[in-house]
Every structure is written in structure tokens, then in C-alpha cells.
Structure 1
């Protein structure tokens, strides 16, 4: 069985910081949506985020790719990992709580295991992973509520939209492995967010019209957070933690994000989640921990 790399205090601190940043994105997006449209929020997030990331690439003196085929791969990656999931999840937030959105978004890791098992021979669905996936999906169904899966009101559609965004993230992970292998991660991040901007900006102009500049300080602050810390800084920090702690430990971020988002939603937006949603997250978290391997380290299933 693959052992997880032990975490230093600094790695724990940066892991917690990353979870706090991404946990806060749900609140930021909801605040921005109160003043402007979904497509415009996405366009702001990826456009300013791309500019910041290219600034980081320039500061690190990393080479800028020139191969047109690679830029085509960036465009697809940006669509799958940014433009489409950001839009689906933001639209979902118009109709469900930000805390519930973060819980459903945590299904990304579950979808990622399934997609990888289908596409890659070295990512087979072992008994341990199958158990984790089954528990994870059970937690998602419980959080949504089985009765909401058979009706098509706005709330149930919003929850399915968020899950659609999580599935896009899983597809993006597979595409990145196929098309972006060997690139400096900072360059890959800047390229894909640029690809997202090339899609999101025309879409925002078509759907929402010209951007408004009369937003409140709260609205601009929410957009600035989403683009800066929530996108550019988060990607740079993600790759630092990846190098420091390993990919297995990064799964812990998925578990830490929803509690942050739930707490912020309750404190700032006055949200109150149904007990069923919290129990569902508990079941989903157990599935993620089984995928991670920590729960079964003493009595492992085959992996």
C-alpha cells in the first residue's frame, strides 16, 4: 500500500491556507452575483486571474509556450477546468446555499477517481477505491436528498449543475495529464486560465452585455478576491503544497474546504444547512478518507 508523505508544520499551514482561500471563494462568488451576472463574474475571475499568473510566470523567468497545438490544449483545459465549471457552480449558487455548493463541489475527487479508472490503465478501480467512491456518491445523494433527484425544480437543477461543474473538474484533471504533461505548473495554470478567458469574455459580452463599473465596494472586493487569491494565488499555492506534501495529502484540502465555506455562509449570509446536508458531507468525507487510504491503513483493503 502506498504510504502518505508525512506533513511538516509548514505544509499543514499552507494546506490549511489553501483550504481557507478556496473555502472563501463560495462566499466571494455569491456576493459578486448579487450585483452582476454569472457570465460576467466568470469573465472577471479568469481574465484578471490570468494576468496575475502571467506576471508570476514572468517574475519566475519561465518560458512562454509558442506551439499552437499546446495553446489549443490550453483552450480545452480552460473550458473544462475554469470557464464551464465556474459558470455551472456560480449559477447553482443563485439557488442553493454556498455551504451546500461547497459540499457538492467536494464530489470532484470522487468523479476524478472514476474518470481516471475509465481512461488510464494505472488508475484501476481497486476494492478500496470502489468502497470510497460508493460512500462518496452515497454522501452526495444524501446531501441533495433522494426526493430532489426525481423533481426538476430550480433547487434540484442547481444542485445538479454544481455536480456538473465537479465532473468538469474531473475531466480537466484527465485532460491535463494527457495534454499538459511536462510543463512547468505555473505556465500550465496561466495558459489554461487564459484559455478560459478567451471563452468567458465573449460569452459574458453576449449573455450579460458590456460590464458594469458601478458595483459597490463589496462587489468589487468579491471579484478581486475571486480573481486574485481565489484563482491566481490559489493555483500558485496549490503547486507549492503539491511539491511539499505530495498529491495524496492534497486530498485533505477537499475535506477542509466545505467547513470553511459552511462557516462563512452562516456568519456572513445567514445560511442554515439542513442536517441531512451535513450528514451527507460526513459520509462523503468518509469516502474521501478511504480513497486517501488513512482510514484503512491498519487493516488495508487491496489497492
Structure 2
């Protein structure tokens, strides 16, 4: 990967890591549903002229139904779930749980597409889910004031991301990524239109909340999508997907520096277990390819 692509890779991780911070700031004023609705609406407005300029409008029109539907699975509902979660748990913890997307992706692909994981990838799945259980064990309280529902919301969002990935692979292969990216945001916007209206806050939101939701839409969604698809084209999907490992690092750093969130050794340790599991499950680490060469010791 060239230095320019490496810089774009780090920028993508930084943008997606910041999305949890912006969602927290916006959701306090707008609520989870309106935050998600505004985020995808802003991203749609930014991406539409780029789509038209790219000449891929016809591809979106020809496959509009499926692309709009996948937008609900891949943006609309997950964004609302994460916006709900960050009101109760730290942005760093939310980002770590978000890193389980490849684990659920592997399970959904196995169940739906018949892509059975090998021995090491199955071990990675088990290790990753063990990390999730350890991380969430003392937080899974469903009593008033507990954070159990927030943790479940994160895991439900990652499951929807995984379903959307398999749906895309089955029904949207060959469609220009720009059409899928823009159309999915429009689909999410349409799906969240009424919920956003119903849940609109009675009190005017402060300018800081507007700035946060616009930043989430422009930087963490529209610009991030453009970077993501550019990296896939230039560096390949395997390398691009490793951005998953950097996102929690940025999210934890933002939360600690800007929100005063605590970073506990337990959270870092469980996060490391999850990321190792993700690396094995996605094939980033493949012990089967390692070859240890035995060389008998020579006598002096």
C-alpha cells in the first residue's frame, strides 16, 4: 500500500471512529431516531451530485428496490440502534462491539450462502464471541438504569450489517459501488422519514447538536463511503476491511480525550480478544499458512 493510500486508510478509520462521538452529541438533543434520520439525509444530499457526475444514476434506477431496501439494513436501522446505545454506554465500548461485524458476517454467510468457515476461522468466531461475552458480562443488566439493552442494540446493529453484506453479495453484485452507496442512504432516509418526524424533539436543538449530526452525515458517512470504495478499488477488499481493527482505537481515544470516558484494562483486554478473533475469522491471520522450519542444531 502506497503512503497516500495508507494515509487514506488511517483517515477512514479516524472518520468512522469519530461517528460514535458525533452520534452521542447529536442523540442527546435529537434522540436516536431523529439523529439517524438526519445523518442519512445529509449523506444523501452530499452523495447525490457525485452519483450523477459519475454517470451511475441508471444503475441505481434499474436496481432501486433492492438498493433502497439494503439501505435500511446497512444504515438506517443500525445508525438508530447505535445512537440509542451511545446514550447509555461509552463510545469506546460501542466501537469495540461494532468490531464484531465480521464475526456475525461470517455466521450469516455460513447460514445463508453456505460459506462454511475453516478450522481456524471457526476458532476465530468462538474467540471473538467469547470476547464479547466477557466484555458485556457485567454490563448486561436489564434493570432500570442498566446498560443491557444498549449492548443488545449494538449487537443487533452488527447483525443487520452482516445480513446486509450477504444480501449485497447475493443480489447486488456487479452494481457500481457509487450507486449502492448513494441509493442505500436514500433508502435509509425514506425508511426513517416518519420515525424522524414522530420523534422530533419538542425543544429546539442547540447548534452543537446540529454541527454533530451534519459532521456525522458529511464526514463519517458520505466522505467515509467515498474513501471506503476508493480503497477497495485501489488496495482490494481484504486489506480495506482491516480498517475494522483501527476504528476502536480512534473511538476510545476520542471518548477519553473529549468526553472523559474511562479506559479500563478489562475493556482493552476484551477488545484485544475480540479483534484477534475477528482477525482469525476474516483470514487476516491464517495460522495454516505459517510454516515453521525445523533446523537441527549443529554441534560446535
Q: Same fold (TM over 0.5)?
A: yes
* CA distance in 1: counterparts of 2:27 and 2:199, whole angstroms: 14
**Which runs of structure 2 are paired with 1:75-94 in the superposition (5 Å)?**
75-94=68-87
- Report the secondary structure of 1:236's partner residue: helix
Matched, 1:125 2:117: yes
Task: Note the C-alpha offset of 1:53.
Answer: 1.1
**Which runs of structure 2 are paired with 1:38-49 in the superposition (5 Å)?**
38-49=32-43
* CA distance in 2: counterparts of 1:281 and 1:295, whole angstroms: 20
- Report the secondary structure of 1:164's partner residue: helix
Query: What is the CA RMSD across the aligned residues, in angstroms?
Result: 1.7
CA deviation profile, 1:215-252 (whole Å, cap 9, x unmatched):
33321221111110111111111000111111111232
* CA distance in 2: counterparts of 1:141 and 1:244, whole angstroms: 36
* CA distance in 2: counterparts of 1:293 and 1:38, whole angstroms: 34
Task: Note the C-alpha offset of 1:299.
Answer: 4.3
- Report the secondary structure of 2:29's partner residue: coil
**Which runs of structure 2 are paired with 1:1-303 in the superposition (5 Å)?**
7-64=1-58, 65-67=60-62, 70-121=63-114, 123-145=115-137, 147-149=138-140, 151-153=141-143, 154-208=146-200, 214-290=204-280, 291-294=282-285, 296=287, 297-299=289-291
* CA distance in 1: counterparts of 2:135 and 2:10, whole angstroms: 24
* CA distance in 1: counterparts of 2:41 and 2:29, whole angstroms: 18
Please list every run of 5 or more consecutive structure 1 residues that lacks an aligned counterpart in the other structure.
1-6
Task: Note the C-alpha offset of 1:284.
Answer: 0.8
- Evaluate the alpha carbon distance shift between residue 113 and residue 299 of structure 1 in structure 2; reply closer, same or farther with a 3 A threshold: farther
Task: Note the C-alpha offset of 1:292.
Answer: 2.8
Task: Note the C-alpha offset of 1:21.
Answer: 0.5
Structure 1 moving runs of 4+ over 4 Å: none
CA deviation profile, 1:48-87 (whole Å, cap 9, x unmatched):
11111111111222233333xx222123201100111111
